Structure 1
Amino acid sequence: MTPILAATEDIKVQLVFNNAGYISTGLFADTDLERLRCNLECNAGCAVPITHHFLRKMIERKEKGLITFTSSASCYLPGPTATLYSPSKAFLTNFANTIAAENHDIGIDVVVIHPSPVNTNFYKNEGPQLDSLKTAQKAAASPANIAEQIFASAGRLTVWDQGLTCGVFRVVNKVLDYQIFTEVITRFAFLNGDHKKLCKASKTRNEGKSQ
């Protein structure tokens, strides 16, 4: 937070964009714990002190404002092979919704957007390359489109589901109860190509097999 505080010390910030995030791929047990912690902090944890600081400043100055969060369509689903991405985005969505409910009455708007694939450096991910990400990148939208939809949602919607991928995920959640869908993924994840590839390369799983 220190660089952020220093850079905004003499600025009355009324627009806050919690946009930082990346995907770290691999099986959970095979991934270095520090790498997991960094991923969780960037995707979810850092939004807490940033939002807390600037929200308090807005309230103290009795100013209106906008706080936005870039979540993901993945927040609606379990995310094997990229263990912390979906959970961290689910936290971000719920956190944003809670902040929205607390501060709507004083004119501070909160928007959380669930983008479908976006054409950014997101796909230069940390960890093993996944075929599913390569497929998603082919359908990626322009970042400018996401920015436009965030501003269009301000003062109108708290949660904005953007794009076809997000729409499909929502439909799946309507058709199948989340718990049921989780059971389906749990029992059939081993058939996924990325899962097979990671398991084959897993030092943790394969240790001692050749002995």
Structure 2
Amino acid sequence: MTLALIDYGAGNLHSVANALRAAGAEDVAITANPDVVRAADRIVLPGVGSFRACAEGLWGIHGMVEAMTERVHVGGAPFLGICVGMQLLATRGLEHGVTRGLDWIEGQVQRIERTDPEIKIPHMGWNDVNLGRKDPAQGLIDPGEAYFLHSYHFQPDDGATVAAMTDHGGGLVAAVAKDNVVGVQFHPEKSQGYGLSLLARFLEWKP
């Protein structure tokens, strides 16, 4: 099984690759080649930094978005977005102006509102991951504690795509899912046993 870890200049790729291997992945291809993505059995899109910079990096690789879309939406490959890689699933991001996202899960990414002066932004550190009554991720996400680091959050238009929530002065979306696409706002590669368990389940996930 080949797993394509997309290299578009925005992500702690080697930490994610090491975590995937620790979770059981045998063939992790760190790649900026759309042909490798088009042939992969599973795809992971990491992301660190601003929505705009990540979007520009991804669209800056000729044919990459088309290859991802073809492999995921036509070929049915399971897809995992991490942190800004999850946010890029949205229709648009509102960081440094309006920037288009992949629009795979309709919604927008906007700044976390400070509702309590005690609440610090960015949302950084360990926090609970709580599941809702519905499970669009089909058992992929477990309740537990994960490591977060973000100042912007994903607000999906359809609440049925919310796979998990966390609380930081109010509810924030921790994970989204739709069909064979899942995204997590937290960092599995920094979330110790909880994160490795999630990645191991993703490697076996058959949506």
TM range (shorter): under 0.3
Higher share of residues assigned helix = 1
Higher share of residues assigned strand = 2
Per the normalisation by structure 2, the TM-score is: 0.25
Q: Looking at both structures, which has the greater relative contact order when contacts are Cα pairs under 8 Å and sequence separation is at least 6?
A: 1
Per the normalisation by structure 1, the TM-score is: 0.25
